[in-house]
Structure 1
Amino acid sequence: MPRTTTLELYKEEMKFSAGHFTIFSATHRENLHGHNFTVYVALTGEVADNGMLSDYGPLKQTIIARCRTWNETFFLPEHSPHLKLERDAKGNVLARFNGEELRFLARDITVLPVENVTLEELARVFGEELVGDGTALRKDGVTRLVVKCASGPGQSSSWEWVAP
């Protein structure tokens, strides 16, 4: 009889500090600010004959590597209808919003493939990178993956993948 389990990954290294601002409309945005984000990942699937769901070591290392890449950067949304990004030859960014110009050095920013920098979008981007096309997870017997991104105690968003 198959046995299903959920393996939860929430390690000290699964965190990053980053700045951002949320855009509420064409004329209203938050001031620049930052958070100490944490990441939690849960894998659900069948326990194999060896007593394990899967070798989650490589997945854990991918999570930690993404956190290190995002750490101490400022997030900008690539697909916002209200924020226009212009890069110079050195990769520095001029962000235009409602008549304002915000300038960022290339080394300080991470441009994300999102419309807005929110917990919902951070969890999704993180999750989509981990899942890819889902082949590796399905091969390991994983049927569900949940990524939770938190900006502090009591404030988080989850993204979920379920194997087809």
Structure 2
Amino acid sequence: MARTTTIELHKEEMKFSAGHFTIFSATHRENLHGHNFTVYVALTGEVLEDGILSDYRPLKTAIIDRCRAWNETFLLPGNSRHLRIERDARGNVLAHFNGEELRFLARDVTVLPVENITLEELSRMFGEGLVGDGSLMAQLHIQRLVVKCASGPGQWSSWEWGRHV
């Protein structure tokens, strides 16, 4: 009889501090601010004969690596229809929004391929980065993956993926 289990990962290293602003319309955005974001991942699959789900260390490493890459940066949405991003001759970032020009040093900015810097988009980015084309999930016997991203206690967004077996 097949047995399934869920492994929940919420390690100390699965966090990052980053600045951002949410864009609400072509004319309205939040002021610049930051959060101490945390990431949670749940992996569900069949327990193998040796009593484990799989060696999920590569997934844990990928999450921690992404947290480190985003830590202490200002996140900007590269796909926003309301924000135009360009680089000056020195490589610094200029973000144009509703007649405003926000300037950032290149080393301080991470431009993400998202519409907006929201928990919804961040949890999706983590999830899609882990799942990829699904082949690693199959190799690791993972049937379901849930990623949650929080901007503080009590405010989470979830992204889910499932494989039909």
Fold shared, TM-score > 0.5 on shorter chain: yes
- 1:9-28 aligned at under 5 Å gives the runs 9-28=9-28
Counterpart secondary structure, 1:125: helix
Listed as ranges, the matches of 1:50-129 within 5 Å are 50-129=50-129
Q: Does 1:132 align with 2:132?
A: yes
Runs of 4+ in 1 over 3 A off after TM superposition: none
Is the 8 Å Cα contact of residues 77 and 113 (structure 2) preserved in structure 1? yes
**TM-score, length-scaled by structure 2:** 0.97
* SS of aligned partner of 2:24: coil
Measured on the aligned residues, the alpha-carbon RMSD in Å equals: 0.8
Deviation at 1:3, TM superposition (A): 0.1
Partners of 1:57 and 1:125 in 2: CA distance: 19
Unaligned runs of 5+ in 1: none
8 Å CA contact 2:56, 2:140 repeated in 1? no
CA distance in 1, matches of 2:45, 2:37: 27
The CA deviation string for residues 96-154 of structure 1, in whole angstroms up to 9 with x for no partner, is 00010000111000000001100000000111111111101112110011100000000
Structure 1 residue 91 displacement after superposition: 2.3
Amino acid at match of 1:150: A
TM-score (norm 1): 0.98
Output one character per residue of 1:5-45: Cα deviation in whole Å (capped at 9) or x when no partner.
00000000100000000000000000000000000000001
Say which is worse superposed, 154-163 or 81-90, in terms of deviation.
81-90
Structure 2 unaligned segments of length 5 or more: list them. Answer: none
1:58 is displaced (CA, Å) by: 1.5
**Residues in 2 aligned to 1:161 and 1:5: alpha-carbon distance in whole angstroms:** 16
